[in-house]
Structure 1
Amino acid sequence: MDIQALTGFFMWCTIINGGILIFWIIILMLTPDLVYRTQSKWFPIPRETFNVVIYAFIGLFKIVFLVFNVVPYIAFRIIG
């Protein structure tokens, strides 16, 4: 693989995963009660714990997104 192919790959990874992150945040901002009711049917969990877990997952996803998508894309853009 050449640098151009890797740059394109990481560009699309960044776009797709960024879209998923934005979609997830928008859904949780617009319909938090619907998300909680849906998930609490599968996993009985108090609302406060649910909020902490969702916040932690969003934070983890953001860190993974930045480290494994955005940073390699920027690095390949710099050296390309």
Structure 2
Amino acid sequence: MTLNEIANFLGWCTLINFGLLILSTTALVVGRNFVANLHAKWFEVDAADLRKSYFQYLANYKLLVLVFNLVPYLALRILAN
């Protein structure tokens, strides 16, 4: 694989992962009470703790996408020029 192919792959990975992040964030914001109550029943966890866990999940996911997709993509694009 060439650097250009790897950069294209990472670009698509970044786009797909940010799309999933936006979808997850939207689902948790719009259906906050429904999702929290559903998960509280399933896992026998307090709804307040779940909201904290949701925020932590979204923050960790965003950080992982930035570190493992976006930064390598930008580095390869800089190297290619």
TM-score in terms of structure 1 length? 0.94
CA distance in 2, matches of 1:25, 1:71: 22
Q: Please name the residue that 2:32 is paired with.
A: 32
**SS where residue 40 of structure 2 aligns?**
helix
Superposed CA deviations along residues 8-47 of structure 1, whole A, max 9, x for unmatched, are 1001100100000000011111110111122122201111
Q: Percent identity?
A: 32
**SS where residue 5 of structure 2 aligns?**
helix
CA distance in 1, matches of 2:75, 2:38: 40
Superposed CA deviations along residues 26-73 of structure 1, whole A, max 9, x for unmatched, are 111111011112212220111111111111111110110100011011
CA distance in 2, matches of 1:75, 1:35: 38
CA distance in 1, matches of 2:48, 2:31: 16
Deviates more, 1:8-17 or 1:32-41: 32-41
Matched residue type, 1:53: S
TM-score in terms of structure 2 length? 0.93
Q: Please name the residue that 1:47 is paired with.
A: 47
The total of aligned residue pairs comes to 80
Q: Which runs of 4+ in 1 moved over 2 A?
A: none
Could you tell me which runs of 5 or more consecutive residues in structure 2 were left unpaired when the two chains were aligned.
none
**SS where residue 45 of structure 1 aligns?**
coil
1:77 aligns to 2:77 (yes or no): yes
Q: CA RMSD in A?
A: 0.9
**SS where residue 44 of structure 2 aligns?**
coil
